Amino acid sequence: MAFIDYYKILEIDKSATETDIKKAFRKLARKYHPDLNPNDKEAERKFKELNEANEVLSHPENRKKYDQYGENWQHGEEYEKARQQQQRYQSDGGQQGGFGGAGDYSDFFESMFGGGASRGRGRTAAFKGQDFNAELHLDLKDVYTTHKRTLTINGKNIRLTIPAGVENGQVIKISGQGAEGANGGPKGDLYLTFNIENHTNFKLDQHNLYSTVDLDLYTALLGGEITANTFDGKVKLTVKPGTQNGTKVKLKGKGFPVYKKEGEFGDLYISYQITIPTNLTEKEKELFTELAKLRTI
């Protein structure tokens, strides 16, 4: 457990007045407030530090104690006496409430001031609970259809509907699934980040899917019918005679579902890759030579 320099956290010096402290706190709180920095863990950590520093320095008694024993908090009877006195003060009715939510103090703070330090502000405010962040790993196939899934977050089972078409890296907010609020405040929210792995032969770009289909030389030359895979089954395709390598065909509505737009799908683009026969027999070579001659005439 290390000593925490609350003056340094608030970027003020030891001679700072109450007004200086308030000003410094407000300035930094505006920079690191969680509402202004959603999903930013570093800002959240910094904001907690600021709160703690403010709890101590904005309250004259706490500040006095911190200045007197802070750096040497591990030693001395004086400190222990002061700590016991502090605890008596709390049980006599030290106020709760104030800025930024309860709990989440450092070990240093807990050791010096106990779990519920007296706070300088009079209002007992209700605060929203902490937001939770979680990551959900899914396969691309999993998000082709809307489905329900049960997740365990902080020991609590949450039944969720995973909407079809959710994208890799997308964050969805599930209201009220965060930590309990303080003083009757609302629960925090859960921010769920989707991490979607693609193990299919399809490439996905937004809602459109891309795939490559091998086409034998003869079908490419003469045309015909082939069967190609789509994401949810097979389709028959008519190949035009004289199809070139790399030709793309678009299958409308055979792409990926569009997020939160039921029944709406992207397109599937199939590229033909013409395969040239190898290991030709003597007869085949003869016939190809014949064909080549016909072409050069």
Judged by CB under 8 A, does residue 74 bind another protein?
A: no
> Pick from 16, 23, 38, 87: which binds another protein (CB under 8 A)?
38
CB of 208 to another protein, least distance (A): 11
Judged by CB under 8 A, does residue 1 bind another protein?
A: no
Q: Which is nearer to another protein, 68 or 273 (CB)?
A: 273
Judged by CB under 8 A, does residue 261 bind another protein?
A: no
The number of helices, as runs of H, and strands, as runs of E, in the chain is 8, 11
Judged by CB under 8 A, does residue 41 bind another protein?
A: no
Judged by CB under 8 A, does residue 133 bind another protein?
A: no
Say which residues have a Cβ less than 8 Å from residue 271's Cβ, sequence separation at least 6.
210, 211, 212, 213, 246, 247, 248
Judged by CB under 8 A, does residue 71 bind another protein?
A: no
Alpha carbon distance 174, 166 (integer Å): 14
Tokens coding 195: 């991490």
Q: Which is nearer to another protein, 29 or 237 (CB)?
A: 29
Looking at the DSSP bridge assignments, the partners of residue 269 are: 210, 250
Which uninterrupted H or E stretch holds 173? strand 171-174
Which of 108, 100, 109, 165 lies closest to 138, judged by CA? 165
Phi, psi of 161 (to 5 degrees): -100, 120
Judged by CB under 8 A, does residue 163 bind another protein?
A: no
Q: Which residues bind another protein (CB under 8 A)?
A: 26, 29-30, 33, 35-36, 38, 99-100, 123, 125-126, 128, 167-170, 175, 186, 189, 198, 203-206, 210
